[in-house]
Amino acid sequence: MDAVRMHAASPESTAIVDAVLDYSRRRMLAADVPLDKPQTEAELNRLVGATITDAGLGAQRALSVFEHILAPACLTTSHPLYLSFIPTAPTMAAIAFDLVVSASGLYGGSWLEGAGAVHAENEVLAFLAGEFGLPDTAGGVFVQGGTIGNLSALVAAREAAKARLVAQGKELPARWKIVCSAEAHSSNKSAARVMDADVVLVPAGDDGMLRADAVREALDTHGDEICAVVVTAGSTNFGIVDDIEAIAALKDEYDFWLHVDGAYGLTAMLAPAARSRFRGVERADSVIVDPHKWLFAPFDCCALIYREPDQGRRAHTQHAEYLDTLTDAEEFSPSDYSIQLTRRPRGLPMWFSLATYGVDAYREAIGATIALTERIAAEISRRPELRLVRDPQLSVVVFERDGWERADYDRWSAELLDSQRAFVVPSSHAGRPNTRFAILNPLTTFEDLTGILDTMK
């Protein structure tokens, strides 16, 4: 019967599972996965045709359409020569375990329904909190990505500011304000729009770093209207780390929530050579870091950690009669700590990878990508036709080709992708076009990068 056919264990189901696992195995273990490239909507319509039909295509045909048409129209973001935006580079163990998470029907929203999964995720969060110097009582939740992580943290910051002012007998501001650098990630400004709050954009220095004197001026000007100060631990465009230590020291004089947006760069704290750049993180009230970036987990995964988890719980616990069983319980339920109620245990692939390989392997891999960035930056400096826009701090290097306009970068970038050599898109800074390497994959080599530079003729 069709009513049970889709869910029953049967020869048909066995064939579907075998076909999907066979494709997954071939894809995961292939040594020559292509970069691939997008197609136009018209071309995909022509090639694919209608796939959603009353009778269905059958698994073999549907999988064939995906493998041979749809998948090649998606860039392989984990490819060693995907060097744009912020790539991903999940470990083999993390990719494999992502299959287990989906296959197991796990729900990660509450302790009642997913105690074992939540326990494992919490071990990862505790490990990260320890790396960042936060207290043993720190904790949080894995959410979809940095945008949700920042929004959830800033909502908690606003609720904490409300409670503080009420306790002090002060009037609440008509509008809340969030202080951040002009170079902060756009998700912080997006969060402010969702919260109906204002953003106080503080100018960074010429080197891209936000410093304490500029933040102090904002605190003096806006006072109790400020619910949070956001510092960036590795900007997306340049990988710049704000002067976290000096900004955190302002907490000795002012009462404000310090949020560290480390979606990309905070991972570098695991590398001993880079750790000193992040002094002051230990004073944060909340931090985020995206394991699907530089901590080698699959999409989509952001670790949101509160210094005092109860602050997050007070802001985000949802109340409804059907949830009373969960909200009245004392056990830790991840859904209480972000704006999301329904959640898959997206931290499990990272847990499995860490448990499999050990922390030392992570430290070595992160350190290797930083060292490669420094090496290719030195090579760029040696080439007379190229110029570094800024010296790299982490694993992003931004550079210009003398005499090139935006059209030259566009042509060059398109040729690299068309030839499947690399994915390197144009960028810009201060109105000038440039390009950048975002190096997160330990399989990326110096020879790969110099080969790309050689094409900039």
Structural domain includes residue 87: no
The Cα 383–Cα 208 span in angstroms is 24
Confidence of residue 151 (pLDDT cuts 50, 70, 90): very high
Same domain for 377 and 320? no
Picking from 142, 137, 167, 164, the residue whose alpha carbon sits closest to that of residue 152 is 142
- Work out the number of other CB atoms within 10 angstroms of the CB of residue 445: 13
Same domain for 49 and 176? no
The token pair that represents 2 in the structure block: 């069709």
| pLDDT value at residue 409 | 98
Structural domain includes residue 158: yes
Same domain for 10 and 156? no
- CATH number of the structural domain spanning residue 194: 3.40.640.10
- Work out the number of other CB atoms within 10 angstroms of the CB of residue 309: 20
| pLDDT value at residue 324 | 58
Expressed as residue numbers, the domain containing 376 is 359-454
Same domain for 234 and 222? yes
Structural domain includes residue 95: no
The Cα 142–Cα 289 span in angstroms is 10
Same domain for 425 and 387? yes
Same domain for 291 and 433? no
Q: Does residue 447 carry a pLDDT above 60?
A: yes
Determine contact, residues 320/387, Cβ cutoff 8 Å: no
Report the 3 state secondary structure along 280-315. CHHHCCEEEECHHHHCCCCCCCEEEEECCHHHHHHH
- CATH number of the structural domain spanning residue 422: 3.90.1150.10
pLDDT, tens digit (0-9, with 9 covering 90-100), for 349-385: 999 999 999 999 999 999 999 999 999 999 999 999 9
Structural domain includes residue 122: yes
Same domain for 322 and 222? yes
| pLDDT value at residue 76 | 98
Structural domain includes residue 96: no
CA atoms within 13 A on the CB side of 41: 0
CA atoms within 13 A on the CB side of 141: 33
Confidence of residue 2 (pLDDT cuts 50, 70, 90): confident
Confidence of residue 155 (pLDDT cuts 50, 70, 90): very high
Overall average pLDDT of the 404-430 stretch: 97
DSSP string, 60-82: HHHHHHIIIIIGGGS--TTSTTB
pLDDT, tens digit (0-9, with 9 covering 90-100), for 25-73: 999 999 999 999 999 999 999 999 999 999 999 999 999 999 999 999 9
pLDDT, tens digit (0-9, with 9 covering 90-100), for 281-310: 999 999 999 999 999 999 999 999 999 999
The Cα 351–Cα 298 span in angstroms is 12
Same domain for 244 and 156? yes
| pLDDT value at residue 331 | 78
Determine contact, residues 343/108, Cβ cutoff 8 Å: yes
Beta strand 432-438 with 396-401: parallel, antiparallel or unpaired?
antiparallel
pLDDT, tens digit (0-9, with 9 covering 90-100), for 318-352: 866 555 555 666 778 999 999 988 999 999 999 99
Residues forming beta bridges with residue 303, ordered by sequence position: 142, 289
Residue with tokens 């990719």: 95
Structural domain includes residue 239: yes
The Cα 265–Cα 368 span in angstroms is 15
Question: Which residue among 310, 337, 356 closes a domain?
Answer: 356
**How large a percentage of the chain has pLDDT more than 90?**
95
Same domain for 32 and 174? no
| pLDDT value at residue 323 | 56
Query: Domain count of the chain?
Result: 3
Same domain for 43 and 117? no
Same domain for 258 and 352? yes
Overall average pLDDT of the 66-89 stretch: 98
- pTM of the shown model: 0.96
Structural domain includes residue 425: yes
The Cα 417–Cα 210 span in angstroms is 35
Question: Which residue among 339, 356, 373 closes a domain?
Answer: 356
| pLDDT value at residue 320 | 62
| pLDDT value at residue 389 | 98
The per-residue pLDDT of the chain, averaged, comes to 96
| pLDDT value at residue 3 | 81
Same domain for 351 and 381? no
Question: Which residue among 356, 387, 411 closes a domain?
Answer: 356
CA distances from 175 to 178, 197, 200, 249 (A): 10, 6, 12, 26
Structural domain includes residue 219: yes
Determine contact, residues 157/119, Cβ cutoff 8 Å: no
First to last CA, the chain: 64
